[in-house]
Amino acid sequence: MAIARERTATPAAHPANRTILSLDPSNPTIPAIRARAFVFSDPRSRAMVPLIERTAPSDATVLVAGETGTGKELVARYVHALSHRRDGPFIAVNCGAFSETLIESELFGHERGAFTGAMDARPGWFEAANGGTLFLDEVGDLPHGLQVKLLRILQEREVVRLGSRKAIPLDVRLIAATNVDLARAVAEGRFREDLFYRLNVVSLPILPLRERRADILPLARHFLELNGAKMGAGRLELTAGAEEALFAHAWPGNIRELENAIVRATLTCIDGQITDADLALHAMDARQPAPVAAASVPETPAVPASALQGDAVMEDRLTPLVARFLEEKQGSLLDRTIENVVRIAFSRYEGNQIRTATALGVTRSVLRTHLKNYGLI
């Protein structure tokens, strides 16, 4: 298994054991962008444990919902580890990582000659997961046509490869995950209602780190111990100021952002004492879009939709601001403008990458490149 489960005693106020889930950092099959640890310490996190333990032994389909970086795959692996399928494969597939033309072949497999370049027959991920669990991450990104096929697979429990007419029976437990509000996507016609109900048999909503703050310090200490051992360093400790900074930070990047902050601090600290300066969270806070004071920028009057003239209106609104920045000789103005636009949009849409990309008029892959460059994921 690629998941380790560690139980440690909690303070007297919390008599239940605390469970830490962590991914094997040496496993090359797990992408580095994954959240690599999850802790059930906060009361809101620990409230999930009984539901997981009751539903894991069944074959019920599970829908894990939460922001990027909250540890959805770790929870899915935990469900698998507690199930009767624990000795079978756990296959994780990111639906947003494949093009629309490729993902059907990846999921369902294909026969030789099914399309140009199909030199040999190949099973898909559903077949590869037979006897185990298939984890479909970012299922909200599936094209509408594939949603229909996924619904049929869930109903019939069999898959037909591309270029074949033979149905292959499946013995697979499906766990889906999404950072998209699927109920809203259904209402907007972007996701099939019947598929939503098929996936949402058991719902496991994962709260963002800012809403389960009692998990922050246990996770930080876990990453501290992990990275200290990896570096061969001596004892590493968080100062009181560092703990306060960790607890107070908003963590828009959730667990992955927390791990990166700890890694950075282990490299910059002196004598094993990690301070708030080593964490550099104040710099990250400064780069977050702050509320604009009413007096700092003149309020733009509402413009009727009929009066909007696209680029001309945008130019009229931007010209005074750009002129002001040019007069102030702001350095790297273009780069800073792009970064701030991305950050503000990402914050406005609460970390939803699809909605942010749509609003900015770019593809999700282009947006993810910016988000990585700016340390948002």
pLDDT recorded at residue 4:
52
Q: Which span out of 41-45, 132-136, 179-183, 368-372 was modeled with the highest average pLDDT?
A: 132-136
Q: In the structure, what pLDDT confidence band is assigned to residue 374 with cuts at 50, 70 and 90?
A: confident
pLDDT recorded at residue 231:
67
Task: Give the span between the Cα atoms of 144 and 148, in whole angstroms.
Answer: 7
pLDDT recorded at residue 338:
85
Global pTM value: 0.67
Mean pLDDT in residue range 70-76: 93
Position 177 pLDDT exceeds 90: yes
Position 232 pLDDT exceeds 70: no
Structure tokens at 257: 């952002």
Structural domains of the chain sorted by starting position, each given as residue range(s) with its CATH number in brackets: 47-207 (3.40.50.300), 210-287 (1.10.8.60), 317-373 (no CATH)
In sequence order, what are the residues at sequence separation of 6 or more whose Cβ sits closer than 8 angstroms to the Cβ of residue 116? none
Q: In the structure, what pLDDT confidence band is assigned to residue 36 with cuts at 50, 70 and 90?
A: low
Per mean pLDDT, which range of 240-244, 283-287, 332-336, 367-371 is the poorest? 283-287
pLDDT recorded at residue 279:
92
Q: In the structure, what pLDDT confidence band is assigned to residue 17 with cuts at 50, 70 and 90?
A: very low
pLDDT recorded at residue 227:
79
Q: Nearest to residue 210, comparing CAs of 341, 69, 339, 77? A: 69
Per mean pLDDT, which range of 47-51, 299-303, 332-336, 355-359 is the poorest? 299-303
Q: Is the separation of the CB atoms in 119 and 109 below 8 Å? A: no
Q: Give the burial string for 147-170 (b: 16+ CB within 10 Å, else e).
A: bebbbebbeeeebbbbebeeebeb
